[in-house]
Structure 1
Amino acid sequence: MSPAEVENALLTCDGVAEVAVVGVPDPKTGERSIAFVTASGPTAPTLADITSHLAGIGMAKPKWPEELRVVDAFPRTASGKVQKYQLRDTLQSRD
Protein backbone atom coordinates (compact mmCIF):
# COMPACT_ATOMS: atom_id res chain seq x y z
CA MET A 1 0.00 0.00 0.00
CA SER A 2 1.20 3.49 -0.80
CA PRO A 3 0.20 5.96 1.92
CA ALA A 4 0.34 8.77 -0.64
CA GLU A 5 -2.23 6.99 -2.85
CA VAL A 6 -4.64 6.66 0.07
CA GLU A 7 -3.98 10.22 1.24
CA ASN A 8 -4.75 11.61 -2.22
CA ALA A 9 -7.98 9.63 -2.36
CA LEU A 10 -9.03 10.79 1.11
CA LEU A 11 -8.43 14.44 0.20
CA THR A 12 -11.37 14.12 -2.19
CA CYS A 13 -13.69 12.99 0.63
CA ASP A 14 -16.21 15.50 1.97
CA GLY A 15 -15.17 16.95 5.29
CA VAL A 16 -11.45 16.22 4.98
CA ALA A 17 -9.09 19.21 4.94
CA GLU A 18 -5.77 17.41 5.44
CA VAL A 19 -4.78 13.79 5.86
CA ALA A 20 -1.79 11.70 6.87
CA VAL A 21 -1.79 7.90 6.70
CA VAL A 22 0.65 5.96 8.85
CA GLY A 23 1.36 2.28 9.19
CA VAL A 24 1.67 0.71 12.62
CA PRO A 25 2.71 -2.80 13.62
CA ASP A 26 -0.08 -5.33 14.04
CA PRO A 27 0.47 -8.78 15.56
CA LYS A 28 -2.08 -10.45 13.26
CA THR A 29 -1.46 -8.80 9.90
CA GLY A 30 2.04 -7.38 10.31
CA GLU A 31 0.90 -3.82 9.74
CA ARG A 32 -2.31 -1.81 9.69
CA SER A 33 -2.96 1.70 8.49
CA ILE A 34 -4.44 4.57 10.40
CA ALA A 35 -5.66 7.79 8.81
CA PHE A 36 -5.28 11.06 10.68
CA VAL A 37 -7.45 13.86 9.32
CA THR A 38 -8.29 17.45 10.03
CA ALA A 39 -11.87 18.42 9.32
CA SER A 40 -12.74 21.03 6.71
CA GLY A 41 -15.98 21.96 8.45
CA PRO A 42 -17.74 21.74 11.77
CA THR A 43 -18.35 17.99 11.47
CA ALA A 44 -15.49 15.58 10.93
CA PRO A 45 -15.98 12.52 8.73
CA THR A 46 -16.36 9.13 10.39
CA LEU A 47 -14.54 5.92 9.49
CA ALA A 48 -17.79 4.80 7.81
CA ASP A 49 -17.77 8.00 5.70
CA ILE A 50 -14.15 7.38 4.72
CA THR A 51 -14.63 3.72 3.79
CA SER A 52 -17.82 4.48 1.88
CA HIS A 53 -15.96 7.14 -0.11
CA LEU A 54 -13.05 4.80 -0.88
CA ALA A 55 -15.46 2.06 -1.97
CA GLY A 56 -17.27 4.56 -4.17
CA ILE A 57 -14.11 5.53 -6.02
CA GLY A 58 -13.11 1.89 -6.45
CA MET A 59 -10.14 1.67 -4.13
CA ALA A 60 -9.30 -1.90 -3.13
CA LYS A 61 -10.43 -2.73 0.40
CA PRO A 62 -6.96 -3.84 1.62
CA LYS A 63 -5.78 -0.25 1.08
CA TRP A 64 -8.45 1.28 3.32
CA PRO A 65 -7.37 2.63 6.71
CA GLU A 66 -8.55 0.46 9.58
CA GLU A 67 -8.83 3.33 12.00
CA LEU A 68 -9.53 7.06 11.80
CA ARG A 69 -8.22 9.74 14.12
CA VAL A 70 -9.47 13.31 13.85
CA VAL A 71 -6.93 15.90 15.00
CA ASP A 72 -7.00 19.67 15.26
CA ALA A 73 -3.60 20.05 13.60
CA PHE A 74 -0.62 17.99 12.47
CA PRO A 75 2.84 18.16 14.03
CA ARG A 76 5.09 19.78 11.45
CA THR A 77 8.72 20.51 10.75
CA ALA A 78 9.90 24.11 10.40
CA SER A 79 9.41 23.75 6.63
CA GLY A 80 5.79 22.57 7.08
CA LYS A 81 6.17 18.84 6.43
CA VAL A 82 3.93 16.57 8.55
CA GLN A 83 5.94 14.62 11.13
CA LYS A 84 4.37 11.20 10.76
CA TYR A 85 6.66 9.66 13.35
CA GLN A 86 5.01 11.89 15.97
CA LEU A 87 1.60 10.65 14.89
CA ARG A 88 2.83 7.05 15.33
CA ASP A 89 4.21 7.96 18.75
CA THR A 90 0.78 9.16 19.89
CA LEU A 91 -0.63 5.75 19.00
CA GLN A 92 2.08 3.86 20.85
CA SER A 93 1.68 5.97 23.96
CA ARG A 94 -1.99 4.94 24.22
CA ASP A 95 -1.17 1.20 24.45
Structure 2
Amino acid sequence: MVKAIHFILKIMLLPVIVALTVIRLFAEFLAGISSVIFRSIAGIFLLTALLCYGFGLDSPGECLQMVLAGFLFYLLPCTVEMVIAGIVLIEECIRSFT
Protein backbone atom coordinates (compact mmCIF):
# COMPACT_ATOMS: atom_id res chain seq x y z
CA MET A 1 0.00 0.00 0.00
CA VAL A 2 2.71 2.48 1.01
CA LYS A 3 4.89 1.45 -1.93
CA ALA A 4 1.99 2.01 -4.32
CA ILE A 5 1.41 5.54 -2.95
CA HIS A 6 5.14 6.23 -3.16
CA PHE A 7 5.18 5.05 -6.80
CA ILE A 8 2.16 7.21 -7.67
CA LEU A 9 3.85 10.26 -6.08
CA LYS A 10 6.97 9.60 -8.13
CA ILE A 11 4.94 9.53 -11.33
CA MET A 12 3.01 12.67 -10.38
CA LEU A 13 6.13 14.66 -9.46
CA LEU A 14 8.20 13.59 -12.47
CA PRO A 15 6.94 16.48 -14.69
CA VAL A 16 7.71 18.95 -11.90
CA ILE A 17 11.27 17.66 -11.60
CA VAL A 18 11.74 17.83 -15.38
CA ALA A 19 10.35 21.39 -15.49
CA LEU A 20 12.61 22.52 -12.64
CA THR A 21 15.62 20.99 -14.36
CA VAL A 22 14.87 22.80 -17.62
CA ILE A 23 14.29 26.10 -15.79
CA ARG A 24 17.55 25.66 -13.87
CA LEU A 25 19.56 24.95 -17.02
CA PHE A 26 18.04 27.96 -18.81
CA ALA A 27 18.74 30.20 -15.81
CA GLU A 28 22.34 28.98 -15.62
CA PHE A 29 22.80 29.76 -19.31
CA LEU A 30 21.40 33.27 -18.90
CA ALA A 31 23.44 33.84 -15.75
CA GLY A 32 26.64 32.89 -17.54
CA ILE A 33 26.02 35.31 -20.38
CA SER A 34 24.72 38.15 -18.22
CA SER A 35 27.52 37.88 -15.67
CA VAL A 36 30.12 38.74 -18.33
CA ILE A 37 28.08 41.68 -19.59
CA PHE A 38 27.07 43.11 -16.21
CA ARG A 39 30.50 42.70 -14.63
CA SER A 40 32.08 44.47 -17.61
CA ILE A 41 29.62 47.33 -17.17
CA ALA A 42 30.43 47.41 -13.45
CA GLY A 43 34.14 47.66 -14.25
CA ILE A 44 33.51 50.54 -16.65
CA PHE A 45 31.50 52.37 -13.97
CA LEU A 46 34.26 51.89 -11.40
CA LEU A 47 37.02 52.92 -13.78
CA THR A 48 35.07 55.99 -14.86
CA ALA A 49 34.40 57.00 -11.27
CA LEU A 50 38.04 56.62 -10.27
CA LEU A 51 39.31 58.56 -13.27
CA CYS A 52 36.73 61.34 -12.85
CA TYR A 53 37.67 61.68 -9.20
CA GLY A 54 41.39 61.51 -9.97
CA PHE A 55 41.25 64.20 -12.64
CA GLY A 56 38.78 66.32 -10.68
CA LEU A 57 36.03 66.20 -13.29
CA ASP A 58 33.23 65.29 -10.86
CA SER A 59 32.53 65.90 -7.21
CA PRO A 60 33.16 63.06 -4.75
CA GLY A 61 29.38 62.61 -4.33
CA GLU A 62 28.86 61.99 -8.03
CA CYS A 63 31.82 59.60 -8.13
CA LEU A 64 30.33 57.70 -5.20
CA GLN A 65 27.05 57.42 -7.08
CA MET A 66 28.90 55.91 -10.05
CA VAL A 67 30.69 53.44 -7.77
CA LEU A 68 27.37 52.43 -6.21
CA ALA A 69 25.79 51.98 -9.65
CA GLY A 70 28.71 49.77 -10.65
CA PHE A 71 28.31 47.77 -7.46
CA LEU A 72 24.63 47.19 -8.27
CA PHE A 73 25.54 45.99 -11.75
CA TYR A 74 28.07 43.64 -10.14
CA LEU A 75 25.43 42.23 -7.76
CA LEU A 76 22.83 41.40 -10.43
CA PRO A 77 24.48 38.11 -11.50
CA CYS A 78 24.95 37.20 -7.83
CA THR A 79 21.21 37.46 -7.21
CA VAL A 80 20.52 35.24 -10.22
CA GLU A 81 22.93 32.68 -8.78
CA MET A 82 20.97 32.75 -5.52
CA VAL A 83 17.74 32.09 -7.44
CA ILE A 84 19.43 29.15 -9.17
CA ALA A 85 20.53 27.80 -5.79
CA GLY A 86 16.92 28.03 -4.60
CA ILE A 87 15.72 26.10 -7.65
CA VAL A 88 18.34 23.41 -7.00
CA LEU A 89 17.23 23.21 -3.36
CA ILE A 90 13.58 22.76 -4.33
CA GLU A 91 14.55 20.18 -6.93
CA GLU A 92 16.60 18.19 -4.42
CA CYS A 93 13.82 18.34 -1.81
CA ILE A 94 11.37 16.90 -4.31
CA ARG A 95 13.83 14.19 -5.36
CA SER A 96 14.53 13.20 -1.76
CA PHE A 97 10.79 13.11 -1.06
CA THR A 98 10.07 10.68 -3.89
> TM-score scaled to structure 1, two decimals?
0.22
| Higher RCO, Cα 8 Å, sep 6+ | 2
Task: Identify, as 1 or 2, the structure richer in helix.
Answer: 2
Pair member with larger Rg: 2
Task: Identify, as 1 or 2, the structure richer in strand.
Answer: 1
> TM-score scaled to structure 2, two decimals?
0.21
